[in-house]
Structures are given as C-alpha cells and as structure tokens.
Amino acid sequence: MRRTNRQYIREQRTLCGKNYAEVDFCRITEKEHKASPRAKKRFASSLAQQGRNAERARRVFVQILNTNFDEQGFALVLTYEDASLPEDDEQAWRDVRNYLQRVRRWVTRRWGKQKIKWVCVTEHQAENPELGVKEVRYHHHMVLQVDGLSAEQRATLRQTLEDQWHDAEGYALGTVNADRLQPEHDSLEGLAKYMLKYPKRHKRWHASRGLERPAYPQPRDTHWTARKLADACTLRVDDADYWEALYPGYRFLEACPTYNEERGEWRLYIKLRRKRR
C-alpha cells in the first residue's frame, strides 16, 4: 500500500530588530520539511510576500521599518509651497537628495561622521475631472534615524530636520513636520499603512544603502498539528495570555488568521513586541 506524504505545520519566526517579531503558521509538505537550511530560509523570506498585493506590500514594509528604526527615529512629511512645486519626479527626488546632503553635512559638522538611515516615499496625483480624481500635490513621506544620539541631541536634530528643507539660496521649499517614532504604540505599523494607503497614486521609493533585513531562525515543523492551528485561529485569536505564554518576553499585538476554503487549510501569523524591562 502506497504511503501518502505526511503533512506538517511550520512555525516560522521572523525577527525584525531587537523588539519586533512575527510568527507564521502554515501547512507544508514532507519535501519542504526535509529541505536544506538554505531552502528553508528562502521559504521564510517569501512568507510575507504571499497573499494579496496590498497586504503583502504593507507587511514587508512593516518588517523593514521595525528592523531598522526605533524610538530614536523620526517620521517626516515634506511639502511644497506653490512656487517650489517640482515639475516632475526627477526634480522632486533631486530636492530630497539635496535635503539629505544638507542634513548629512550638518550632522557631520556637529557630531562627526554618523550613519543616517532613511526610507522615502514621494507621492503625487494628477487631476482627472472625467474620472473624478482630484490633484494631490507632490510631497514626501520619510523615516529617518541617526543611532546613538542622546535625547538632547535628538531634539536638536529634530529642529534641524525641519529647518533644512530649502533651496540652494536658502528659501524654504515648503514645510516639514518631524514627529518622534513611538514603536511601543505601534507607530511604525500605522506609518506603513499611511504611506501605502493610496496605491493608485503615483509613488516613488528610495532608501539608504545597507538597511538590515529581518532574521529567520530555524523553523519548527513538529510542534503544531492542523487541529491545534485551527483551534488557535478560531479560539485563541484574541487570547494574549495564550500567545505570551508561548513566547515569553514578548507582548502580543495581533493575530491574523485566514482560511482557504478550496484547500481546507488555515494560515496564521501573529505580531509580537518585546516587553520593556
């Protein structure tokens, strides 16, 4: 009698920096269970990229933000006065590039050479009365951080970030609002949702070199059964005590279950943030 392949439920952690983590639970085949460590790592890195496009983009972006930014960083919105509105994407990006160069020179003069991490999304939308589409002026959403600064230095940097948005002659291009990041209050996920809120608008992305990628520890394939996963997806979705007992040291944020009716399979991922000492 031919033996059917055994089914496994994979528990895969994704560690985003020191304080944020996600855990995926999904069914895998026996072949995937016996795959090489390299193949398992490829499988892990693809988990956040599976599913609907909007959810996929948001989840990947949340992971990148949590891996590289924390409460030392700032969320910025850079806008334009009428006279300074860029004519095209290239001019808009040139404005951002010049702005970052001025910030970098200022930081170097003040505190020596420092690594500046940033992600920038440039957004705009042309008016189309026939479709009822309103114009959205060019503006930039940015996350920026310089590690290792004191609270006083970060306050000084915050003011500088708001002052350096000007042209070569020193005239302000518009306004800058710089707000401190508050990861403990899920500000990074909220920021990611806001930056990806309007997918139909024209967006261009840029980021500093060398941003870290999430880490994928070795998965566990034998600790969960299909029944246990189904119970977790239906009975334990909001049970913070249950999840925090499974992952000591973390605070439970949210569980996101989905059910594939065609295959009769549950999938789940949960979000965790390390508890403050």
Residue 162 CB coordination number (10 Å): 15
Which pair of tokens denotes residue 241?
Answer: 């005590």
Of 208, 206, 187, 205, the residue nearest 66 (C-alpha) = 187
- Interaxial angle between packed helices 187-195 and 53-68, expressed in degrees from 0 to 180 and rounded to the nearest 10: 140
Report domain extents, the chain.
Answer: 8-68+214-274, 74-180
For 14-69, the pLDDT digits (tens) are: 999 999 999 999 998 888 888 888 888 788 777 766 655 667 778 888 999 999 99
Q: How far apart are CA 103 and CA 271, in angstroms?
A: 34
Write the single-letter amino acid at 66: N
For residue 84, the number of C-alpha atoms closer than 13 Å in the C-beta half-sphere is 20
- Residues of the chain with pLDDT below 50 are 1
pTM for this structure?
A: 0.86
pLDDT of residue 5: 64
Record: fold of 74-180: Alpha-Beta Plaits (3.30.70)
What are the phi and psi torsion angles at 22 (to 5°)? -130, 150
